[in-house]
Each structure stands twice: as structure tokens, then as C-alpha cells.
Amino acid sequence: MDLRRLSEELGPGLLRDIVLVCLAVGVVGVSYGAITVSEGLPVWTPSYFSLVVLAGASQFLFTGIVAAGGSPVAAVVAGLLVNARHLPFGFALADTVRGRPLLGGYLMIDESVAFALAQRDPRVRRVAYFTCGLLLMLCWNVGSLLGALAGTTITDTDALGLDAAFPAVLLALVLPSLRTAGTRRPALLGAAVALALTPFLPAGLPVLFALAGLVLARPGREPA
Amino acid sequence: MIGTTAILVSGAVLGLGTFGYRVAGPLLRTRFTPSPWTQELMTTGATVLLFALVVTSAVADGREPADLARPAGVLVGGVLAWKRAPFVVVVLAAAGTAALLRLLVR
């Protein structure tokens, strides 16, 4: 599919938004590559992880734990906990990736999930999902490789405010569905539960407990 | 610190496990068709997860609290999004607010 057709399918605004997020992810990828190599891991490690894992938070966590002297087993377990949210994501998006479950599964990333769920039309949702997923994969891998090769160029993306940009990206994408009470009530309860558990549980688990908020969901009923 | 084999095995296990989470739903979907009720519940569940991710990642790094610049940036972005500002404005305002606050405090 060429770029002009893609732009027609998604609308120029949506394609631009997706590209913006992917470029930001690329910058974080550069910092991931640089940090991982500067912590003493071999130069091929960031690219290997970015290709086979493709989940930023768990990759950063792995580097951090191993660099701090933790065992690889502990680092893998921590990464698997952080990534467990992809299981419920997969059930929500099963219809969207129908016909391509393996590629669709591989490209399941917070941002591609959020961009897809923000689209009402199933066809646009599918195109948005695969476009965002493929671009994210590309930018993340190119960034990781450049960072690993260039070394300590960009290690502090916090100075750019990117750590605030990514929650804002997801927030902007879920806000429209939060305008309906049927989604807002479970989301608020879920976030409160996750927040309360955050100081006590390892990363990844509090977010899973947010699903308890679904007790307030009333599927099948039009929201008030 | 950690040898070549350990890195290769760790990456493979983490990658396979993560891929397993990701494809479980799509692969099951090829055998079963969920009811509209279930489908709606799962979609709401994904939104609940994403929103919880927003809130927790805005205020904390793992179990440690984040600095104030981050939640401030996310809040500015959130208010702009609520007022239906363009996506690009939301993202740049969130990043800009956090970056500026850090520049000022340092």
C-alpha cells in the first residue's frame, strides 16, 4: 500500500499523529540502546531484545536489573510481569487482527492498541493498528541500533519530557471512550486500585489489578 | 556481569513469553466467536488497562514515585485533550511542560 492510499484510508490527521508517536518512540529507542551498552552489555544486545521482545518497558527493566547485579532469571520474570497486560489486550483486539494473528500479535504495543481502540470503524481500526504497529517496530529497532552504536548521546530523555509525553499520548487516545459513563466508571475505579497497589507490588501487577474496575462495567447496556 | 549465552536465552524466554501473551487472544479467536457482550467487556477492559497505565506511569517508576514535573506534564496534556485540542498539541504540551519544569528547577 503506498503512502497516498494509506493517508486516504486513515485520514491525513491520523497518519500524522501515528508518525509523531513513532518518531518519539524512536528517540526512546536511541536512549535504550545507549543506556544498555553503557551499562556494559554487548553492543548487539539492544537490537536482539528489540527484535525478539519488542516491549520497551520490559527491555529497560531487564537492562536495569542485570546492570544492578540482579540475576537474568529475576530480570526475565520481572519483564514477563510487566508484559502480562498484553494478554487482555490480545483478547480485546482479536477481531482487529483477524486473519493475521501472528503478525498482529507481534505488533501489539500500548500505542498501537490505543490508536486502534480510538477508531470506531472496524476497517480504519485495522489499518490504524497495523500501520502504527509496523512503524513502531521500525522506529524502535532503528533507534535501538543507533543508540547502541552511538553510545551515550541521548541517555536522558526525561530532559525532553518524553516520560510525560507517553502517558499523555495514551490519555488523549482513551479520553473519547472515557466520555461515556459505561467506560468511565470502571476506568476510574481500576486506576484507583492500580494506584493504591503501586507502592506494594512489582511493576506490571498493579495495572492488571485495575481490571477489577470491570465490576462497574455494564456491557450490552447503552451508557447513561 | 552476564554472559553471551545468558543474554541469548533471557531474550528468547522474555520474547517467547511476551509473544505468547500477545497471540493467545487472536489465536483463540480463530476457534471461538465471543458474544457481543463478552467482546464489549474485553474492549472496556483494554481501555481500563490503558487508563491505569496512564495514571500509574504518570506518578511512579515501578514502586518509586516520579518527580513532580512528570504528572504536571501529563495533567496539562490531559486538560488539553479534554478540551479537544489537537493530538500534536497535547503531546508537545505534555513534553514541553515537564521539560520546562525540570529546566527551571535545576
Establish if B46 belongs to a structural domain: no
Establish if A222 belongs to a structural domain: no
Instruction: Output the CA torsion A185→A188→A189→A194 (10° steps).
Output: 150
A140 or A224: which carries more pLDDT confidence?
A140
Say if residue B1's pLDDT is above 90. Answer: no
Establish if B104 belongs to a structural domain: no
pLDDT score of A9: 86
Here the cell at position A196 is 493504591
Q: Which of A91, A106, A191 sits opposite B25 (nearest CB)?
A: A91
| Number of domains chain B is built from | 1
Per-residue pLDDT tens digits for A193-213: 999 999 999 999 999 999 999
Closest-approach residue (CA) in chain A for B43: A92
Mean of pLDDT over chain B = 94
Q: Which of A16, A199, A214 sits opposite B63 (nearest CB)?
A: A199
Here the cell at position A129 is 493498528
Kindly list the distances between the CA atom of residue B94 and the CA atoms of A18, A28, A165, B104, in Å, as whole numbers in the listed order: 17, 16, 5, 16
Asked if A83 and B6 come within 8 Å (Cβ–Cβ), the reply is no
Establish if B7 belongs to a structural domain: yes
Query: Which region among A156-170, A181-195, A200-214, B9-23 has the lowest average model confidence (pLDDT)?
Result: A156-170
Question: Distance from A211 to chain B by nearest Cα, in Å?
Answer: 6
| Number of domains chain A is built from | 1
Give residue B23's domain range: 1-33
pLDDT score of A132: 97
Average pLDDT over residues B46-61: 96
Establish if A216 belongs to a structural domain: no
Say if residue A224's pLDDT is above 80. Answer: no
Please state, for a pLDDT cut of 70, what percent of chain A lies above it. Answer: 96
Band the pLDDT of A152: cuts 50, 70, 90.
Answer: low
B63 part of contact set with chain A, CB < 8 Å? yes
Q: Which of B15, B17, B70 sits opposite A163 (nearest CB)?
A: B70
Closest-approach residue (CA) in chain A for B75: A168
Band the pLDDT of A6: cuts 50, 70, 90.
Answer: confident
Establish if B5 belongs to a structural domain: yes
Contact criterion met (CB below 8 Å) for A171 and A53: no
Asked if A72 and B9 come within 8 Å (Cβ–Cβ), the reply is yes
Query: Which region among A216-220, B9-13, B86-90 has the lowest average model confidence (pLDDT)?
Result: A216-220
Establish if B13 belongs to a structural domain: yes
Asked if B73 and A166 come within 8 Å (Cβ–Cβ), the reply is no
Say if residue B99's pLDDT is above 50. Answer: yes
A67 or B1: which carries more pLDDT confidence?
A67
Give residue A133's domain range: 3-153
Band the pLDDT of B78: cuts 50, 70, 90.
Answer: very high
Residue B32, burial from CB neighbour count under 10 angstroms (0-12, 13-18, 19+): exposed
Band the pLDDT of A223: cuts 50, 70, 90.
Answer: very low
Band the pLDDT of A8: cuts 50, 70, 90.
Answer: confident
Q: Which of B14, B25, B78 sits opposite A90 (nearest CB)?
A: B25
Mean of pLDDT over chain A = 93
Reported in sequence order, the residue ranges of B1-106 that DSSP labels E, i.e. its strands, are: 60-61, 64-65
Question: Which amino acid makes up residue A100?
Answer: R
Average pLDDT over residues A14-35: 94
Average pLDDT over residues A38-52: 96
